């Protein structure tokens, strides 16, 4: 049984051999000062994508010098229904949607568990296809990346 969390942090891939993906970090969502918490976790002011009704993906698209995060990018593509044209770098955060006060809510336990499974499947695909990482970084909209996106969709 996969442990559920209020929020999930997807770590970037390490590009040196052997390629490794840290396990997803399960986080407790703070009730206060969520903006500072998000900036500290992600290393800058994140963009927010509302591509899933049960979740919000927080990510950085600017060139931060951090390792690429094709796993978070693949999940965002699966949720949005399209291959995004810009790669992600650094960690990415998944929370629940905003509540009526503007604060981000906890992830629902069932959604958290499904997302954790999707992230594992996506990570396995990228680790099995490391030769695609250089192409992905310069042309993320390439048709070859439909396969990991379909892998992610299979978990929802």
Residue 13, CB half-sphere, CA atoms under 13 Å: how many?
30
- Count structural domains, the chain: 1
Q: Give dist(CA 105, CA 126) in Å, integer.
A: 30
For residue 1, tell me if it sits in a domain. no
**pLDDT tens column, 39-84:** 999 888 888 876 789 999 998 866 667 788 888 988 988 888 887 7
**pLDDT tens column, 107-125:** 999 999 889 888 888 888 8
Given this model, what pLDDT does residue 151 score? 79
* Structural domain boundaries, residue 80: 7-153
For residue 108, tell me if it sits in a domain. yes
For residue 2, tell me if it sits in a domain. no
Whether the full predicted model's pTM is greater than 0.85, yes or no, is: no
Given this model, what pLDDT does residue 3 score? 46
For residue 41, tell me if it sits in a domain. yes
Share of the chain above pLDDT 70, in %: 83
Q: Which parts of 49-145 fold into alpha helices (H)?
A: 70-80, 109-128, 132-138
Q: Is the pLDDT of residue 1 over 50?
A: no
pLDDT confidence of 18, banded at 50, 70, 90? low
């Amino acid at each position: 049984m996969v442990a559920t969390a209020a929020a999930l942090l997807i770590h970037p891939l390490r590009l040196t051999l052997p390629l490794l993906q840290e396990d997803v970090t399960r986080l407790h969502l703070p009730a206060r000062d969520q903006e500072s918490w998000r900036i500290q976790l992600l290393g800058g002011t994140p963009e927010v994508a509302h591509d899933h009704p049960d979740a919000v993906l927080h990510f950085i698209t600017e060139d931060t010098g951090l390792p690429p995060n094709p796993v978070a990018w693949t999940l965002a593509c699966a949720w949005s229904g399209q291959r995004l044209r810009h790669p992600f770098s650094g960690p990415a955060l998944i929370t629940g949607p905003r509540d009526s006060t503007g604060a981000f809510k906890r992830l629902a336990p069932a959604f958290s568990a499904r997302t954790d499974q999707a992230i594992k499947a996506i990570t396995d695909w990228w680790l099995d296809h490391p030769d695609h990482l250089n192409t992905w970084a310069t042309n993320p909209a390439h048709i070859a990346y439909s396969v990991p996106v379909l892998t992610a969709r299979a978990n929802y």
